[in-house]
């Protein structure tokens, strides 16, 4: 035991020494050694005190805080995938701090930490409640946390776009950056972290009992509710302090306890929390400092300023999440047909009426999209424009508006059709293309192309996004296969890829063009701004090609939504059908991303709402879901172009805000 702690401490000292020698200035190791021997060089001293020492100490504080917080949350939830990221704590704290900055309020670090604590605690409480607390399986917890984080991040991104001047520089910080201008932040946060770490170690014996189960713990005299409450409060306090100091550095709280538990079979004493908790904190320090050293060592000192350290830790953590997903098998309440509960049969008349109403609403959404925006247009103006008699001003407005309305309409339709397919194949009412990593893969391809080749054509954009999405889908599908395809494993691995690829997109943005994040933010938020007909045409082609395929496979989708045995008994080639269906969903989602950017929750909300309206038979679900998806994105785009005109709110942010309450309701309804 002493050997483990001693080795870890020595590793921290060595990493800290290397860390202090890295930076943008020419101060090297020999200059720092001269300072240690008393040969004071004023320039070297200023660099050490003003930049390198604060950054290194911030890494120590943040790593320890996140490592201990992760170990505590995993024990409280009795879930190896629990962490400040998967419980939405970091996203809630990040939103709180961004809100304060957007309002133009400057607060001392401690007061910012208080706001972060409130935001993180609210997010954690929501996720734990929706995932049925300690009774949840890994899939349910990760879905609840990921969706909550997605919604909170959408709000955060909206604030970054609307208050760009007040929040300048917060985009990179939002991925976790150790850049510090002085020691003030460390001085204020270090005591908070120290007290919370000591408190977590002090309740270690209670956590030892808590992991045995509520009934056993109660029989041994433990106040389970109070212990859980205290542990969660301490973990959220640690996470909030870390976010306040360095932004949300991703997945350290997941990786550190996992690594310690991997060592535990060799050192059985590590299963006891009075050792597990502090060693998780030490491991967290090693991860944060190691990621920062790796970043600056491989890309240079300037990269340490421009590229967030959290990008490296998130990619590492995504790999750990994928590895854990391959080891765990979940049989929680999300493993059921997409309807979540047995759907009531709907008559043909109900289907016809629903389809008619949805069709009318689509027409209304298109008309509203053409009429509304920063310039109000009348129906007579549109009629004149169609005939070619409109004036120059009206003609210009409508020429710009048509591709946007068309793009929103087609993208919503494609995402809804992809969502129907994904939910049926996965038999998971909470799955969608975004949470399987498909949209994130397409986003990486698209962001890379618009960053390096900004004048690329719409077809080139589609080809790159589609190729990236298919590669992502292939990796997710291949890693999910272990003698068969397990839907929970597929979802967990997809979320791991979603997290990692989102970090890669951030890396591309901040490393290549750190002072022009607006265009990439708009893209990642899902916007029709500046679209042309050439850019939206590929979505139409994909829909024309794949809609008949999905429609003809409606019987197979009905069977896939039941279980694995029924399709086999009835002669359906199960794995081939799954592969083709998910591949088609990847193509549909990627073309939608190439046209309007990353739009979330449409593939979740539209299919589920369609099943609620017309039942679970796919011959009815498919057309209604497609119309609902078109309505959702079209209305979100029109509202986003109108409510704060001439400024605009990206459609993807509004769909996330609309979809989140629906998602919360789904989770709440299926808790039992």
What confidence tens digit (pLDDT) does each residue in 295-327 have? Answer: 888 887 777 777 888 888 988 888 888 888 887
**pLDDT at residue 661, rounded to an integer:** 77
**pLDDT at residue 340, rounded to an integer:** 42
pLDDT at 605 over 70: yes
> Could you tell me if 218 and 358 lie in one domain?
no
pLDDT at 416 over 80: yes
Which has the minimum average pLDDT: 32-46, 259-273, 384-398?
A: 32-46
> Could you tell me if 30 and 173 lie in one domain?
yes
Residue 6: CB atoms within 10 A of its CB come to: 10
The token pair at 126 is 């929501």
pLDDT band at 202 (very low <50, low <70, confident <90, very high): very high
Residues 6+ apart with CB under 8 A from 569: none
Contact status, residue 632 vs residue 602, Cβ threshold 8 Å: yes
| Residue 288 vs residues 54, 291, 526: alpha-carbon distances, Å | 14, 5, 31
Q: What is the pLDDT of residues 26-36, one digit of tens each?
A: 776 777 777 66
Residue 331: CB atoms within 10 A of its CB come to: 10
> Could you tell me if 424 and 526 lie in one domain?
yes
pLDDT band at 341 (very low <50, low <70, confident <90, very high): very low
Read off the pLDDT of each residue in 9-32 and give the average, rounded to a whole number: 82
pLDDT at 332 over 70: no
| Residue 387 vs residues 55, 394, 533: alpha-carbon distances, Å | 64, 13, 19
What's phi and psi for 153, nearest 5 deg? -65, -30
The token pair at 107 is 């607060």
Percent of the chain whose pLDDT exceeds 70: 90
Is there a domain that residue 151 lies in?
yes
Cα–Cα distance measured from residue 25 to residue 42, given in angstroms and rounded to the nearest whole number? 13
**pLDDT at residue 392, rounded to an integer:** 85
**pLDDT at residue 240, rounded to an integer:** 93
**pLDDT at residue 356, rounded to an integer:** 94
> Could you tell me if 257 and 158 lie in one domain?
yes
Cα–Cα distance measured from residue 576 to residue 578, given in angstroms and rounded to the nearest whole number? 5
Task: Identify the CA nearest to 184 among candidates 288, 16, 24, 49.
Answer: 49
Is there a domain that residue 552 lies in?
yes
- Residue 104: which region, alpha, beta or left (left: phi > 0; alpha: psi -120 to 50)? left
Largest Cα–Cα distance in the chain?
A: 89
Residues 6+ apart with CB under 8 A from 486: 329, 480
pLDDT band at 109 (very low <50, low <70, confident <90, very high): confident
Task: Identify the CA nearest to 93 among candidates 235, 227, 225, 272.
Answer: 235
> Could you tell me if 269 and 414 lie in one domain?
no
Give the ranges where 203-223 is alpha helix by DSSP (H). 204-210, 214-219
Is there a domain that residue 193 lies in?
yes
> Could you tell me if 72 and 174 lie in one domain?
yes
DSSP string, 143-164: HHHHHHHHHHHHHHHHHHHHTT
Task: Identify the CA nearest to 307 among candidates 142, 152, 506.
Answer: 506
Q: What is the pLDDT of residues 457-506, one digit of tens each?
A: 778 888 888 888 888 888 888 888 776 667 678 778 888 898 888 888 88
> Could you tell me if 500 and 613 lie in one domain?
yes
What's phi and psi for 189, nearest 5 deg? -90, -30
Residues paired with 481 in a beta bridge: 485
Task: Identify the CA nearest to 377 among candidates 395, 354, 357, 352.
Answer: 395
pLDDT band at 331 (very low <50, low <70, confident <90, very high): very low
> Could you tell me if 288 and 352 lie in one domain?
no
**pLDDT at residue 513, rounded to an integer:** 65
pLDDT band at 1 (very low <50, low <70, confident <90, very high): low
Is there a domain that residue 120 lies in?
yes
DSSP string, 539-560: HHHHHHHHHHHHHHTHHHHHHH
What letter does residue 264 receive in the DSSP assignment? T
The token pair at 322 is 């994928």
Is there a domain that residue 113 lies in?
yes
Last residue of a domain, one of 276, 303, 319: 319
Read off the pLDDT of each residue in 271-287 and give the average, rounded to a whole number: 92
Element at 581 (helix H, strand E): helix 574-596
**pLDDT at residue 514, rounded to an integer:** 58
Q: Which residue has the higher pLDDT, 4 or 281?
A: 281
Is there a domain that residue 331 lies in?
no
The token pair at 134 is 């300690």
Is there a domain that residue 504 lies in?
yes
Q: What is the pLDDT of residues 357-403, one digit of tens each?
A: 999 999 999 999 999 888 888 888 888 888 887 788 888 888 888 99
Read off the pLDDT of each residue in 347-351 and give the average, rounded to a whole number: 85
Q: Which residue has the higher pLDDT, 469 or 569?
A: 469
Read off the pLDDT of each residue in 406-417 and give the average, rounded to a whole number: 94
> Could you tell me if 222 and 278 lie in one domain?
yes
Q: Which residue has the higher pLDDT, 171 or 269?
A: 269
Give the CATH number, domain containing residue 611.
1.10.3470.10
> Could you tell me if 356 and 312 lie in one domain?
no
Please state at what angle helix 252-263 crosses helix 309-327, rounded to 10 degrees: 50
**pLDDT at residue 190, rounded to an integer:** 93
> Could you tell me if 562 and 419 lie in one domain?
yes
Q: What is the pLDDT of residues 126-173, one digit of tens each?
A: 887 777 644 455 667 777 787 788 778 878 887 887 787 777 667 667
Is there a domain that residue 327 lies in?
no
The number of distinct structural domains making up the chain is 2
The token pair at 492 is 């967990």
**pLDDT at residue 280, rounded to an integer:** 94
Percent of the chain whose pLDDT exceeds 90: 23
Range of the domain at 545: 348-669
Query: What is the 3 state secondary structure string of 436-493?
Result: HCHHHHHHHHHHHHHHHCCCCCHHHHHHHHHHHHHHHHHHHHHHHECCCECHHHHHHH
> Could you tell me if 148 and 193 lie in one domain?
yes
């Amino acid at each position: 035991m002493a050997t483990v702690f001693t080795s870890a401490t020595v590793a921290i000292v060595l990493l800290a020494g290397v860390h202090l020698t890295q930076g943008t200035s020419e101060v090297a190791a020999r200059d720092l050694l001269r300072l240690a021997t008393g040969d004071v060089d004023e320039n070297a001293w200023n660099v050490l005190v003003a930049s390198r020492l604060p950054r290194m100490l911030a890494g120590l504080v943040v790593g320890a805080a996140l490592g201990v917080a992760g170990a505590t949350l995993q024990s409280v939830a009795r879930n190896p995938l629990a962490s400040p990221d998967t419980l939405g704590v970091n996203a809630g704290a990040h939103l709180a701090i961004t809100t304060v900055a957007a309002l133009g309020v400057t607060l001392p670090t401690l007061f910012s930490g208080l706001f972060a604590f409130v935001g993180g605690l609210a997010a954690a409480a929501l996720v734990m409640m929706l995932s049925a607390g300690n009774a949840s399986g890994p899939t349910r917890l990760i879905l609840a946390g990921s969706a909550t984080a997605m919604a909170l991040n959408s709000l955060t991104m909206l604030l970054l776009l609307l208050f760009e001047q007040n929040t300048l520089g917060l985009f990179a910080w939002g991925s976790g950056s150790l850049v510090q201008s002085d020691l003030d932040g460390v001085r204020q946060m270090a005591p908070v972290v120290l007290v919370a770490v000591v408190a977590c170690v002090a309740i270690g014996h209670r956590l030892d009992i808590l992991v045995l189960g509520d009934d056993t713990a109660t029989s041994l005299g433990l106040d389970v509710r109070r212990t859980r409450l205290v542990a969660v409060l301490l973990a959220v306090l640690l996470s909030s302090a870390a976010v306040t100091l360095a932004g949300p550095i991703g997945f350290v709280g997941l990786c550190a306890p996992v690594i310690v538990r991997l060592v535990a079979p060799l050192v059985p004493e590590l299963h006891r929390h009075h050792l597990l908790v502090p060693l998780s904190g030490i491991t967290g320090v090693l991860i944060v400092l190691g990621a920062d050293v790796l970043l600056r060592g491989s890309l240079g000192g300037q990269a340490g300023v421009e590229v967030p350290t959290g990008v490296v830790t998130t990619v590492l953590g995504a790999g750990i999440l994928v590895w854990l997903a391959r080891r765990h098998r979940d049989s929680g309440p999300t493993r059921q047909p997409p309807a979540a509960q047995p759907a009531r049969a709907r008559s043909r008349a109900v289907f016809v009426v629903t389809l008619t109403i949805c069709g009318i609403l689509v027409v209304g959404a298109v008309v509203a999209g053409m009429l509304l925006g920063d310039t109000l247009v009348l129906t007579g103006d549109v009629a004149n424009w169609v005939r070619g008699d409109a004036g120059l001003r009206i003609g210009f407005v409508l020429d710009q508006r048509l591709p946007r309305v068309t793009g929103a309409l087609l993208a919503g339709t494609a995402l809804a059709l992809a969502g129907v397919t994904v939910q049926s194949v996965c038999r998971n009412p909470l799955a969608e293309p975004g949470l399987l990593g498909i949209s994130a893969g397409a986003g990486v391809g698209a962001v890379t192309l618009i960053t390096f080749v900004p004048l690329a054509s719409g077809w080139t954009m589609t080809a790159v996004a589609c190729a990236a999405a298919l590669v992502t889908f292939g990796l997710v599908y291949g890693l999910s296969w272990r003698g068969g395809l397990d839907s929970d494993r597929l979802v967990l691995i997809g979320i791991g890829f979603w997290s990692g690829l989102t970090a890669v997109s951030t890396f591309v943005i901040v490393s290549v063009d750190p002072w022009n994040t607006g265009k990439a933010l708009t893209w990642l938020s899902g916007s029709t701004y500046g679209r042309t007909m050439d850019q939206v045409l590929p979505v139409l082609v994909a829909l024309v090609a794949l809609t008949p395929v999905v429609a003809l496979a409606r019987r197979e989708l009905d069977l896939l939504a039941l279980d694995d045995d029924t399709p086999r008994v009835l002669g359906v080639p199960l794995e081939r059908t799954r592969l083709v269906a998910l591949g088609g969903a990847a193509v549909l989602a990627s073309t939608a991303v190439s046209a309007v950017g990353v739009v979330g929750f449409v593939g979740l909300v539209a299919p589920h709402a369609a099943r609620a309206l017309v039942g679970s038979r796919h011959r009815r679900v498919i057309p209604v879901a497609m119309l609902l998806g078109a309505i959702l994105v079209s209305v979100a785009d029109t509202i986003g172009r109108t409510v704060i005109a001439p400024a605009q709110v990206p459609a993807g942010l509004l769909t996330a805000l609309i979809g989140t309450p629906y998602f919360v309701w789904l989770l709440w309804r299926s808790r039992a």
